[in-house]
Every structure is written in C-alpha cells, then in structure tokens.
Structure 1
Amino acid sequence: MFFTYLRRELRRRRKAALVVASGLALGIALVIVVSSVSSGMAKAQDKVLQSLYGLGTDMTVTKAAAAPGSGGTERPRFEFDAKDDDEASQSTDRVMVQGLQTLASSTVGKVGAQDGVADAVGGLSLTVMKVDGQFKRGEFEQDGSAPQGGRGGGRPQGEVRGGGASFDVNSFTVYGTDVIRQDLGPLTSSEITEGRTFTTAETAAEVAVVDSAYAEEKELAVDGTVTVSGTDYKIIGISTADSGDAAADVYIPLEQAQTVADAKDEVTTVYVKAADSQKIGTVKAAIQKNVPGTTVTTSADLADTVSGSLSTASDLAAGVGTWLSVAVLAAAFLVAGLLTSSAVSRRVREFGTLKALGWKSGRVTRQVIGEALVNGLTGGVLGIAVGLAGAYVVTAVSPTLTAQLGSAGGGGPMGGGGPGGPSGSKTLDIALTAPVSLSTILVAVVLAVAGGIVAGAFGGWRASRLRPADALRRVE
C-alpha cells in the first residue's frame, strides 16, 4: 500500500517533484565540482613540490647560502690559452655548486639517526657553465697612400679590418644522486622513458641519465655521451619529469658530482622521509636542535611560498567555492522543505480524509517523508550526473595554472635554490584536472538523503497537525 500510494502521488505531482529534485541537484552538483577542483588543486601542488625534491620526501636539510659580500659566492672566471693558430677553437667550463653552501656528507648520517626519520639521503646540485668559440685575428689593409716618416723609414698607411671573437655560453644543471638509494630525492619525480636508471654498482661510474627536454634540445640519445668539465659520461637513460619540469638537466652518481665540483665528501641537500607523516613538525624540531647550522624546510613550508594562478585558484576553491557550495546547498534544502510543506497544505483534504478513514498521524508523516526521500534521491542522481559532467569538462579543458615558488627556509632547494632552477624562484606550468573520488560520490548520496529528510521533516510536521475536520471544511 505504501509504495503503491507513493508511486501514484509522485506521478501525479511530477512538476513539483522535479522542482524539488532540481534544486537539490544544483547544490549537490556544485559540491561535487568544487570538491573535485579542490582535489585537483591539491594534486597540482603535489606535482610542484615533487618536481623540486622528489616523491616521498617530507623535508630537506640544507645550509643557508652565505650573505652577500661575505665571500661565500665566487663569480665565475674563464681563462683561455694563447695559441699560435688563430683559427683554433677555445673551450672551457666551470662547475659551481648551485646556490647553496655545502654540508659535510656526515650530516646525512646525523640526520638519519634522529628519532622519527625513516630515511635520509644526500645530493649535490651543480651548475655547469661552458664557454666555447674562437678568436680571429684581424687583417691589415693598406690604403695606398705614401708612407709617413720619409724615404725608407715610413710606416704604411691603412687599418686593421675583420677579426674579433665569437663564443657560445651554455649553462645546464647537474645533480649528483646517491645511486644506492634512489627511492628518495629529485630523480624520483621523473620516469625513465628510454634506457635504464643507475645500478648500485655504478657509484663511481662515468654514466649519466639525461632529462628528455634537455636531450631533445642538445640532440642527445641513449649510448651517446654528455660532457661535464672535460669528462665524457655515457648516457644510459632518458628521464621525463612527471610535472613537465625536471629537477636537473643531467643526473650523475654523487661521487662523480663531488669529483667534478672539487667537493669531496660534501652535499648541498639532505632529503628526509619521516616515519610518521603526522609528526613532521616534531622531526623538524629535533633535526634543528641536534644538527646545528642547518635549515630544515618541510613541504608545508614550501607550499606556503607557492604563488601565481595556482595559489589564487586554490584560495578561491577553498574559500569562495566552499562557502558558495554551502550557501547553495542550504538554500536548496530550505526551498525543498518549503515546497514540500506547501504541497502538504494543498493536500489538506486528502490527508484529512485519510485520517478520517483510519490512517494514523505517523502513517501520514511516513508517507510524506517517503515522497520527500524519493525526491531527494532523484535530485542526488541528477546532481551526481551534472557534477561528474562538470568535473569531466574541467579535466578535458585542462586549464594551465602557473606556480611560482619563492625561496623558503633560507634559500634551500625546496625554495628554488636546488636542482632545476636558479637560486630564488622557480616557475612551473601545471595542467589542472578535477578527479572525482568515491568519497565525493558518497558525500553526494548522503546530501541527497539529508535533503530528502529535511524536506520530509517540514512536510511531515505539517501533515501530522492536520485533523479530519479540516478535510470536511474543504468539502463543497
């Protein structure tokens, strides 16, 4: 009887049911879209962070760069040998630690020994500036006039034409990675798309992994070579960064990086993975206390420095979007309740008659709530469909957001001074997606049921107060 009456009443009041369901659907769809876009923002930010310090890294330990004028930064100087052959090409390069002071390699062990640290690995970030070209001697051209200084001792008249110098300057980044523990650090944010990665036996081998963008620019390939400070490194693999912007152009074993940079037993960065992600603050405090002279930067610290359109869009999604969703959803619940209550007031004769025939107030209330729940579930289905369509459109369009990272924690690599960019800042372009999780769908279902209950509560309360006498007054 309950379901028969329910089906008949919903069919008879299709327009009113559709209005209630549409209102709930709008609110639920907006919640899904905002939630999925916010999730996409979080993933985009994760990509930005991973492009700098690698997957699984919770914090980095560095030594702050020397203050300007303190002598900590040495300007590059290039010297060329004089050669008899003025057409001979000249070439020289300079390897410099990138933007940071170095730490002793023993710091890695000290950091790894702290409570709450699951793993720690060191890395050395370098910049290589290579200058090559040639000098060309000018040629003297006589103008044909009489020599000055009298007969036999005059100098020919004319001028030197041509000559000069032409040099190319090539700058690229090199990262020395610990080949024994490759599951931590910047290389983990890239995927090997050609060749292979390092083996644990290649700690001192002259081998390299090259980023795909740099390989394409310089026409490098697997089994070819790349030259760093006069040493040819065999290319064993090509890597592609997950975020589209690699941490470095060239990766070589840490021991080799220390050799070419004349930085034996030194690192620029210690990458740290915490045993418990909920205790990162405690681990940071322990490292700062027990390993003096270091700067500890967490992913949260770096996230606070992200600016650009990614940060702006994230703030809008988290602030305006969330409150807009709440406001629209609350309005949809209120409208659904008022419409249901209004529908009950128009059915006074019907419900009064049913009570006169023996229906209890509870049965009438259950009937109204049942109708409202069906309307709510219908609105939920429509809202989920519209929300999924909206999320799909955002993902299909994939608007590009820009993330700029300023220095954090005294110029550590997570602030732009490490692999992949000059000290100070790093800019990345990230394509926004809007993934919809199962939990978001479950929230939508809960909201649909809640909307039905709210609307049913309004209408049920109104229906329970009706009396048979009210129906008799409406009889003409």
Structure 2
Amino acid sequence: MFFTYLRRELRRRRKAALVVASGLALGIALVIIVSSVSSGMTKAQDKVLESLYGLGTDMTVTKAAAAPGTGTTRPRFEFDAKDDDSTQSTDRVMVQGFQTLAATTVDEVADQSGVADAVGGLSLTVMKVDGQFRRGEFKQDEGAQQDSRTGPGGGAGQPQGEVQGGGASFDVNSFTVYGTDVTQQDLGPLTSSAITKGRTFKAAETDAKVAVVDASYAREKKLAVDKTVTISGTKYTIIGVSTADSGDAAANVYVPLKQAQTLADSKDEVTTVYVKAADSQQIDAVKSAIQKNISGTTVTTSADLADTVSGSLSTASDLASSVGKWLSIAVLIAAFLVAGLLTSSAVSRRVREFGTLKALGWKSGRVTRQVVGEALVNGLMGGVLGIAVGLGGAYAVTAISPTLTAQLGSSGGGGAMGGGPMGGGGPGRQTASRTLDIALTAPVSLSVILLAVGLAVTGGLVAGAFGGWRASRLRPADALRRVE
C-alpha cells in the first residue's frame, strides 16, 4: 500500500518532483565539481613539488643560512695572456648554494626517531666560459703624420692616433649536475624522472665515470646513450636518458655522488639530505627532532615548500578551497531549504487529501512517513541527476585540461628544498624562480560519489521533515472545511 500510493503520487506530481530534484541536483553537482577540481589542484601541486625533490621525500635537510655579511667567496675566471687571437676556454664547477653539509649528517639524520630513510645528494652548477680576445690595431691620424715625422728641433715626434678594433667576445653556458647516491636510488630528485633510454646506475658504480642525462638536455646538446658528456675536462659515458614525469628535470646531468664530490672538490660533503618519514602523520615531530638534535641545519617539509608556490595554480587552488567550497555549501543549503519549502507548500495544497486519509483511519505517523518517503525519492532522483551533471562537469574539465602555471620562489635562507635547480640553482638558496606549466585534471573519487549519495538522502530527509511536520498537524476537520 505504501509503495503503491507513493508511486501514484509521484506520477501525479511529476513537475513538482522534478523541481525539487533539480534544485538538489544543482547543489550536489556543484559539490562534486568543486571537490574534484580541488583534488586536481592538490595533485598538480604534488607534481610541482615532486619535480623538485622526487617521490617519497617528506622533507629535506640543508645547511642553515649564513649570517648576513659572511658570504662565501665566489669563483673567479682567469685567462692566460697570449700573443695570438686563439680561443680560450675555462669552466668552473660550483656547489649550488655554496654551502655543504658533512656526509656524516646523513647517518645522523637517519638515526633520528621517526625517520624511515635518508639519503644525501650534491647539487652542482657548471659554468663554461669560452671565447677569444682580439688584438686592436693602432691607426695614426692622417693630419698628424707629417708632425710625427718631424718634431720640434727637427727630431721625430710622437705618433698621433688611436687603437681601433680589438676587444673580447665570450660565451657563457651553464648546466646543472646532481650527484646521486647510486646505492640508494629510491629517494631523491632522480626518482621524479623515468629512464626512457638505456639504464639507470648500478649499485656497484659508486665512483664510475658514467652519467644519466635529461631528455631535454640530450636533445639540445645532441647527446645519446653510449656517447660522452664532458664535465670540467672529465668525460663521462652516458648510460641512460631520463624524462621528467612533470615539469622540468631536477638536473641536466646525473652522476654518482663520489664523482660529483670529486668534480666540486667537496670530498665527503653533500648539499641536501632527503628524508622519508616512517609515519606521514608525524612529519612535524620528525622535523622538530632533527632541528633540535642536529645543529646548523634547516629542515624543510613539502608543506613549507608548497607555501612558496605562486602563479595561476596557487590562485586557482585558493579559489577552489575557499570561494568554491563556500559557494557549494551555500548553494547546497539553499537547495535543501527550497526543497523543504516546496515540500511543505505541496502538503498545504493536499489538505483535503491528508485530512480525508486521516478520517479514513490513517494515523499521523503514517501520513508523515508517506510525505517523507516521497521527499526521499525526490532526493534520490536529485542525487542521480546531480551525480550525472557533476561527473559531466568533471569530465569536461579533464578533457579541456586548462594549463596552470606554478611559480616556485625561494623561501629565503636555507628554508626550501634543495633538490632541483631553480633558474640554474637549487631551490634552497637561489633567488631566481622556476616556472612550471601543469595541466589541470578533475579526478572524481569514490568518496565524492558516496558524499553525493549522502547529500541526496540528507536533502530528501530535510525536505521530508518540513512536509512531514506540516502533515502531522493536519486534522480531518480541515479537510471537511474545504469540501465544496
């Protein structure tokens, strides 16, 4: 009897049911779209951060920033004076950030409570300067030629003229090198790239003259597997080509850590320690422990680095997390209220019907259940429609894949992750910024679908509560007054 009457009443009031369902569907669809876009924003930011320090890294440890006025001596480029115009070339290998930690710091970090794994790396910048000096030629003034031949007293005078031509023309090229611990390749910047040609390092190649080059750098310099790349006069055999999973690669060239230390004359030193926490919920506690127990270091978590992200990605993320969520909540509340008011209004138009049913023996509870049942079905229909519209909107965002820019600026001092280059230097201490283009997607998770179903049921119950309360107050006498 309940379902028969329910089906008949929903058919008879199709337009009213559609209006209620559409209102709920709008709110539910907006929640799905905003939630999926927010999830896409989070994944985009994760890709940006992973491109800097690699997968699995929860935090990095770098040397604390030097006090103002105690800057490190910068490298000098010197050239020999030669009589001819031959080309001269020189290069310098510099530690990114110009500050290093002792390699023993890696073991100290690994021994801290809550640390699952730690590995050290050395980030370098190689600057190569080549060109030539051109000798100038002295050109004598024509008007002064006679005077120069006969000076005062009949003697020879000084030639008058100027030196023309000459000068210098030099090209400056730079590229980045990362020294990776080949015995622990599951952590660090190289994990943000996939080997697309050749192979990666072997654990036995701790001090071998081998290298993995980034695909973009390989195309630019026409490098390939089995060819060689020269770094400060030392040739390294290319064993593999890597392609960054997203954005730019962490370095142009990867070599074993010991080789990088030799190139930079930084034996037993690293620039960054990459740390993986045993429990992602205890990252702040691990950070505090490292800072407390290992002096002279700066610990930066991925959350700290995320604060330096700006550009359209950051702006869109802020809008999705603040304006978008509040807007969806407001629309959802409005949809619930409208559904409740419409249901209550429909009950007021059914006074004769419910009054007659009560006169026939229906209890108030039965009438209320009938109204709540109708509202709940309307809510479920709105949920189905809202989920369909929400999935369609999320699919449209993913299909269009709007490109957002993420600009990573230095967090100041030594506070940023020191893994990858940022304008030619590690993000830990470089003032330049790095801009990445990220394609936005809007993935819809099962939890979002379940949330939509829950909202649909809730909307139906809210609407039913309004109508049921109104129906429970009706008396058979009200129906008799409306009999014509």
Task: Tell me the TM-score normalized by structure 2.
Answer: 0.92
Q: Are 1:24 and 2:24 matched, yes or no?
A: yes
Q: Are 1:457 and 2:457 matched, yes or no?
A: no
The code of the aligned residue for 1:439 comes to S
The code of the aligned residue for 2:194 comes to E
Alpha-carbon deviation of 1:100? 4.1
Is 1:413–1:419's contact at 8 Å kept on the other side of the alignment?
no
Query: 2: distance between equivalents of 1:375 and 1:147?
Result: 111
Is 1:25–1:379's contact at 8 Å kept on the other side of the alignment?
yes
1:280 maps to: 283
Q: Are 1:123 and 2:121 matched, yes or no?
A: yes
Alpha-carbon deviation of 1:47? 1.4
Q: Higher mean Cα deviation, 442-451 or 3-12? A: 3-12
Is 2:138–2:161's contact at 8 Å kept on the other side of the alignment?
yes
Q: Are 1:317 and 2:327 matched, yes or no?
A: no
Q: How does 1:299-448 map to 2 (within 5 A)?
A: 299-408=302-411, 410-414=413-417, 419-421=421-423, 422=425, 423-424=430-431, 425-448=433-456
Query: 2: distance between equivalents of 1:392 and 1:152?
Result: 95
Query: 1: distance between equivalents of 2:225 and 2:179?
Result: 19
Query: 1: distance between equivalents of 2:67 and 2:288?
Result: 24
Query: 2: distance between equivalents of 1:280 and 1:376?
Result: 42
1:172 maps to: 175
Is 1:30–1:325's contact at 8 Å kept on the other side of the alignment?
yes
Query: 2: distance between equivalents of 1:134 and 1:409?
Result: 38
Alpha-carbon deviation of 1:224? 2.2
1:53 maps to: 53
Cα gap change, 1:471 to 1:52, in 2 (>3 Å): same
Query: 2: distance between equivalents of 1:154 and 1:130?
Result: 47
Q: How does 1:259-298 map to 2 (within 5 A)?
A: 259-298=262-301
Alpha-carbon deviation of 1:222? 2.2
Size of the aligned set, in residue pairs, is 473
Q: How does 1:211-230 map to 2 (within 5 A)?
A: 211-230=214-233
Query: 1: distance between equivalents of 2:328 and 2:156?
Result: 97
Alpha-carbon RMSD across the aligned residues, in angstroms, is 2.2
Q: Higher mean Cα deviation, 340-349 or 162-171? A: 162-171
1:82 maps to: 81
Query: 2: distance between equivalents of 1:419 and 1:226?
Result: 19
Q: How does 1:148-187 map to 2 (within 5 A)?
A: 148-150=148-150, 161-187=164-190
Task: Tell me the TM-score normalized by structure 1.
Answer: 0.93
Percent of matched pairs sharing the same residue: 84
Q: Deviations over 1:338-370 (max 9, x none)?
A: 101111111111122222233232222222111
Q: Deviations over 1:55-102 (max 9, x none)?
A: 1111111112323431x422231112334542x321110111111411
Query: 1: distance between equivalents of 2:23 and 2:440?
Result: 28
The code of the aligned residue for 2:385 comes to L
Query: 2: distance between equivalents of 1:114 and 1:409?
Result: 26
1:105 maps to: 103
Alpha-carbon deviation of 1:141? 6.2
Alpha-carbon deviation of 1:156? 7.7
Counterpart of 1:74 in 2: which secondary structure? coil
Cα gap change, 1:409 to 1:275, in 2 (>3 Å): farther
Query: 2: distance between equivalents of 1:89 and 1:11?
Result: 91
Is 2:272–2:419's contact at 8 Å kept on the other side of the alignment?
no
Q: Higher mean Cα deviation, 252-261 or 162-171? A: 162-171
The code of the aligned residue for 1:347 comes to R
Query: 2: distance between equivalents of 1:77 and 1:130?
Result: 12
Q: Deviations over 1:409-467 (max 9, x none)?
A: 732451x6853443134333322221111100110010001101111111112222222
Q: Higher mean Cα deviation, 359-368 or 244-253? A: 359-368
Q: Are 1:248 and 2:247 matched, yes or no?
A: no
Unaligned runs of 5+ in 2: none
Alpha-carbon deviation of 1:129? 0.6
The code of the aligned residue for 2:469 comes to W
Query: 2: distance between equivalents of 1:301 and 1:380?
Result: 39
1:34 maps to: 34
Counterpart of 2:149 in 1: which secondary structure? coil
Counterpart of 2:362 in 1: which secondary structure? coil
Query: 1: distance between equivalents of 2:464 and 2:204?
Result: 70
Counterpart of 1:220 in 2: which secondary structure? coil
Is 1:53–1:413's contact at 8 Å kept on the other side of the alignment?
no
Alpha-carbon deviation of 1:161? 4.7
Unaligned runs of 5+ in 1: none
Cα gap change, 1:418 to 1:247, in 2 (>3 Å): closer
2:478 maps to: 470
Q: Deviations over 1:282-334 (max 9, x none)?
A: 11121112111111111122222323332222222211211111111111001
Query: 1: distance between equivalents of 2:306 and 2:97?
Result: 20
Counterpart of 2:443 in 1: which secondary structure? coil
The code of the aligned residue for 2:205 comes to E
Is 1:337–1:459's contact at 8 Å kept on the other side of the alignment?
yes
Counterpart of 1:125 in 2: which secondary structure? strand
Query: 2: distance between equivalents of 1:148 and 1:155?
Result: 5
Is 2:308–2:409's contact at 8 Å kept on the other side of the alignment?
yes
Cα gap change, 1:100 to 1:405, in 2 (>3 Å): farther
Query: 2: distance between equivalents of 1:470 and 1:375?
Result: 27
Cα gap change, 1:91 to 1:136, in 2 (>3 Å): same
Alpha-carbon deviation of 1:268? 0.5
Counterpart of 1:359 in 2: which secondary structure? coil
Alpha-carbon deviation of 1:142? 7.2
2:2 maps to: 2
The code of the aligned residue for 1:67 comes to A
The code of the aligned residue for 1:91 comes to S
Q: Higher mean Cα deviation, 32-41 or 257-266? A: 32-41
The code of the aligned residue for 1:75 comes to R
Alpha-carbon deviation of 1:22? 0.7
